[in-house]
Amino acid sequence: MTSLKTSGIELSYGEFKVLDGVTMEMSLAGLHGMIGPNGAGKSTLFSVLSGFLKQTAGKISFNDVAFESMSPVERATCGFGRTFQVPREFKHLTVRENLMVGARKQPGESLIKLLFAPTEVRRAEAEIGERVQGVLQFLKLAPVADKLAGGLSGGQKKLLELGRILMSDPKFILLDEPYAGVNPVLIEEISQRIKELNDTGIGFLIIEHNIEALNRLVDDLYVMDRGALLAHGNPEEVLENKAVRVAYMGS
Ligand SMILES: Nc1ncnc2c1ncn2[C@@H]1O[C@H](COP(=O)(O)OP(=O)(O)OP(=O)(O)O)[C@@H](O)[C@H]1O
Ligand SMILES: [Mg+2]
């Protein structure tokens, strides 16, 4: 079984340990959830997994490939994608252009190829155009394809973030609060798309504060508290756990 594994991940800012020994192993085919109080270190863990922050100790492996010394782009090339808690769309580009930027290395970016292999460049561009169209339709963003991304609603921006990742052929995706600032109808819409992607074999680890919506979606739940994992398992059992109730809900 292919998996994402971490062992003893630590990250400190001076004296303050934001991550304090995170060890976990999850199937790359699954739908996994992650909850925890504000400041528990969830987004920081995502940044370490995706290579945007360097851990001070610990190991990460993805599909048995060591990730520690790889750049974010190299990790993405292995099929590892992540979205950000605050969407990072290019506000002054259209939705379609934002998706085109998400495509992996394009031959048209190389001057040599552009000069000496223009047919190859044209073919690759046509392929990317088709893939963009497919993603726009899948995410129901086709009606706003030529609108500036900065003008989208909160939910549409979250969908665009997901679309940008889909352009890079991911095997596993980290989603940081996909439902935050999203209306209930669009929350169901986003969940449905995640389920459909999972049916095609793409796995997810999803951070969310909307526990109800998250539980309808995931197979298992990780709880983080003060930089470490407090519990992991079946969502109903985890939420009954005394330590989780105290840490997360204060009762
Ligand atoms: N650059 C930094 N320097 C110092 N401390 C930081 C820095 N970035 C984050 N932190 C601290 O690290 C801790 C973990 O933050 P993180 O954003 O990972 O939490 P989170 O679990 O994602 O919270 P939330 O649910 O609110 O998004 C917080 O206490 C935060 O203040
Ligand atoms: Mg966060």
Q: What is the pLDDT of residue 123?
A: 81
Binned average pLDDT, 10 residues per bin, the chain of 251 residues: 93 94 96 96 97 96 92 92 83 93 68 72 82 95 96 92 92 95 91 96 96 95 96 94 83 57
The rounded Å distance from CA 85 to ligand 2 centre is 6
Our answer on whether the CB atom of 35 is closer than 6 Å to any ligand 1 atom is: no
The rounded Å distance from CA 181 to ligand 2 centre is 14
Q: What is the pLDDT of residue 106?
A: 63
Q: What is the pLDDT of residue 249?
A: 66
Contact 78, 170 (CB under 8 A): no
Give Cβ neighbours of residue 1 (< 8 Å, ≥ 6 apart): 27, 28, 29
Our answer on whether the CB atom of 44 is closer than 6 Å to any ligand 1 atom is: yes
Contact 220, 233 (CB under 8 A): yes
**What ligand has the least distance to the C-alpha of 13?**
1
Nearest-Å Rg of the Cα atoms of the chain is: 19
Q: What is the pLDDT of residue 47?
A: 96
- Give the nearest ligand 1 atom to 227 CA: 14
**What ligand has the least distance to the C-alpha of 40?**
1
Q: Rounded to an integer, what distance in angstroms lies between the CA atom of residue 22 and that of residue 10? A: 7
Burial class (CB in 10 A: 0-12, 13-18, 19+), 243: exposed
Q: What is the pLDDT of residue 157?
A: 93
Q: What is the pLDDT of residue 83?
A: 85
- Name which of 166, 177, 157 is nearest 200 in CA terms: 166
